[in-house]
Amino acid sequence: MSQKFDEMVKRENSVICSTYGRYPVAVSHGRDCRLYDLDGNEYIDFLAGIAVCSLGHSREDLADVMAEQARKLVHASNLFYQAPQIELAEKLVATCGADKVFFCNSGAEANEGAIKLARRYMRKVRNEDRYEIITLARSFHGRTLSTLTATGQTGLIKDGFEPLPQGFLTVPFNDIEALQQAVTPQTAAIMMEMVQGEGGVRPLEPAYVNAVMDICRKNGVLLIVDEVQSGMCRTGKFWAHQHYGITPDIFTSAKALANGLPMGAVLATDEVAKGFAPGSHATTFGGGALVSAVASKVLDIMNEQDMAERAREMGEFVKAEALKLKERHPDKIQGVRGLGLMFGIELSVEGKPVWNGLLERRFICNLTQGRILRLVPPLTITRDDVRAFMAALDDVLSSPEA
């Protein structure tokens, strides 16, 4: 490690709260699918800021929109009507079956909003005392008190934060019987990711999703889909739930929505959106002019360049290459799976040394659940970059490091 890097670690440790297990890289700048560290080393980025910079880093066209809007209006408050916010909402509802949008600033805040909307809709529109939210094991929904409670994981995420909010229940993944039994007259909504991200890149089975929809309809329960990671063309359709031919009552977006500026959104059908009334929910920064203008441009680019189709195609290529690698290393790769460019390579060996070997070869990806390499590159990633990544992984798996 360089002296510049060591110095940075020392400064950070004295002023930044210690909540992150950071990678041993101090990132300086980025361009498209490349990141650069303080010493000028170049990395090929298969992480994209955790599925955030889906159109690549530091784009000129987005920088232009940012600069132009920054000189016009950055923030006025939600006390005003603002054209960029309305325009963005129009573009968002055109991508899906939702009718109304509430803008916020992060994935957790979007999910928090979705939970609040589901509960308030039940109480104020349906006049039913339903409040319980059912989620799946290994899910991840965020770090606010209610979204960490909704999250189907134990350990550090919940430890030390009790008492946790009431009205949350977790059931086993892909187990329709368990879900059926968990639904009661108090159930307001079932909330799930179509492809679990943090949980290890696990797509739900279509038959399971159909059965969930049945349970929702029969019991008057809402379906909330957390598309914070899987949305915005990542999986090969604009929204992952579109692979399953369903229309959720509520779904959430965040990560890639403004390609790196903080933004979240709750999308709902007209009917369920009646659950919110003036004064019932709000946030200062949500849907501000600057971030809305940028997200609006993100949607234009994604539509014009059919990024969903690109993600589908490139996802197929990643899968084919990963399968070849699995054949070469049957003792080290247990399985490969994913949807579009949300891809997981499950190792049967300890993940950390493999991840580290990739980093040393200047490839950035994420390790989740200890053994699963999660690839969520910019959707602009090229076949050459994918081949280079697989060659590096081949090299790591062939070396004594793995």
Name the residues that contact ligand PLP, by CB under 6 A: 106-108, 111, 140-142, 193, 197-198, 226, 228-229, 254-255
> Which lies closer to ligand PLP via its Cβ, residue 226 or residue 385?
226
Minimum distance from residue 52 beta carbon to ligand PLP (Å)? 9
Minimum distance from residue 240 beta carbon to ligand PLP (Å)? 10
Minimum distance from residue 362 beta carbon to ligand PLP (Å)? 25
- SS3 string, the chain, reads CCHHHHHHHHHHHHHCCCCCCCCCCCEEEEEECEEEECCCCEEEECCHHHHCCCCCECCHHHHHHHHHHHHHCCCCCCCCCCHHHHHHHHHHHCCCCCCEEEEECCHHHHHHHHHHHHHHHHHHHCCCCCCEEEEEECCCCCCCHHHHHHCECCCCCCCCCCCCCCCEEEECCCCHHHHHHHCCCCEEEEEECCEECCCCCEECCHHHHHHHHHHHHHHCCEEEEECCCCCCCCCCCCCHHHHHCCCCCEEEECCCCCECECCEEEEECHHHHCCCCCCCCCCCCCCCHHHHHHHHHHHHHHHHCCHHHHHHHHHHHHHHHHHHHHHHCCCCEEEEEEECCEEEEEECCCHHHHHHHHHHCCEECEEECCCEEEECCCCCCCHHHHHHHHHHHHHHHHCCCC
The CB density around residue 77, as the number of other CB atoms within 10 Å, is 9
> Which lies closer to ligand PLP via its Cβ, residue 85 or residue 106?
106
Minimum distance from residue 43 beta carbon to ligand PLP (Å)? 21
Crossing angle (nearest 10°) for helices 289-304 and 83-93: 30
> Which lies closer to ligand PLP via its Cβ, residue 82 or residue 253?
253
> Which lies closer to ligand PLP via its Cβ, residue 229 or residue 296?
229
> Which lies closer to ligand PLP via its Cβ, residue 201 or residue 396?
201
> Which lies closer to ligand PLP via its Cβ, residue 132 or residue 198?
198
> Which lies closer to ligand PLP via its Cβ, residue 37 or residue 198?
198
> Which lies closer to ligand PLP via its Cβ, residue 197 or residue 378?
197
Closest residue to ligand PLP, Cβ-based? 107
